[in-house]
């Protein structure tokens, strides 16, 4: 699975390498990983393990900034990658996506955004994705890769190798 994902990332970055880096050239957008129950729940054990997989998969992807909603599950999804890259997770208000778009536009390189099933489709569109996506409340671990320069959107699943 890791080698397949590495090939996937290589294709994405090859397609975007000729674009000027005046703004985020690749935007990774995903819903938080598997959550436990309760009010503002943390990640479940499966979600914690998948957050570690995410960190390994994206460690060499050129990510310069990480944004997540202030919920525990979103922050915990992003935290292992942030620790690996030694960059902070910046909280954003999901009710103000225009502000997030503005912040991302000021970043050269790639960014990761962790949101929710009801915000990810809109974020993909706001970052130039031409393909409409939908997520159910049970969809965890789909990582969307948006290339703003050409509007392409691709997706891969974060899951343990079997």
Model confidence band, residue 162 (pLDDT cutoffs 50, 70, 90):
low
162 occurs within a structural domain: no
Residue 53 within any structural domain of the chain: yes
Question: Does residue 72 belong to any structural domain of this protein?
Answer: yes
pLDDT exceeds 90 at position 26 = yes
pLDDT digits 0-9 by tens, 53-103: 999 999 999 999 999 999 999 999 999 999 999 999 999 999 999 999 999
Asked if the structure places residue 25 within a domain, the reply is yes
Q: Compute the mean pLDDT over every residue in the chain, rounded to the nearest whole number.
A: 88
- Give 113-127 pLDDT, tens digit per residue: 999 999 999 999 999
Q: pLDDT > 90: what percent of the chain?
A: 79
What is the domain-level CATH number for residue 94? 3.40.50.1240
Per the CB < 8 A criterion, the answer to whether 162 and 139 are in contact is no
> Stretch 47-57: mean pLDDT, rounded?
97
Decide if 97 is inside a domain: yes
Domain count, the chain: 1
Rg (C-alpha) for the chain, rounded Å, is 14
Q: Which domain holds residue 41?
A: 2-157
DSSP for the chain? -HHHHHHHHHHHHHHHTTS--SSEEEEEEEE---B-SSSS--B-HHHHHHHHHHHHHHTTS-EEEEEE-SSHHHHHHHHHHHHHHT-PEEE--TT-HHHHHHHHHT--EEEEEEE-TTTHHHHHHHTT--S-----TT---EEEEEETTTTEEEEEE-----
């Amino acid at each position: 699975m890791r080698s397949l994902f590495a090939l996937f990332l290589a294709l994405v970055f090859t397609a975007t390498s000729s674009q000027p880096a005046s703004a985020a050239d690749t935007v990774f957008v995903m819903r938080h990983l598997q959550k436990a129950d309760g009010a503002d729940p943390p990640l479940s054990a499966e979600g914690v393990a998948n957050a570690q997989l995410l960190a390994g998969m994206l460690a060499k992807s050129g990510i310069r900034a990480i944004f997540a909603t202030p919920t525990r599950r979103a922050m915990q999804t992003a935290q292992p990658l942030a620790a690996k890259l030694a960059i902070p997770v910046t909280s954003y208000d999901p009710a103000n996506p225009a502000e997030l778009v503005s912040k991302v536009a000021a970043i050269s390189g790639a960014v990761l955004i962790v949101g929710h099933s009801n915000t990810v489709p809109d974020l993909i569109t706001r970052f130039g994705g031409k393909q409409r996506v939908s997520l159910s409340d049970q969809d965890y671990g789909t990582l969307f890769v948006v290339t703003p320069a050409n509007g392409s959107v691709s997706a891969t699943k974060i899951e343990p190798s079997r």
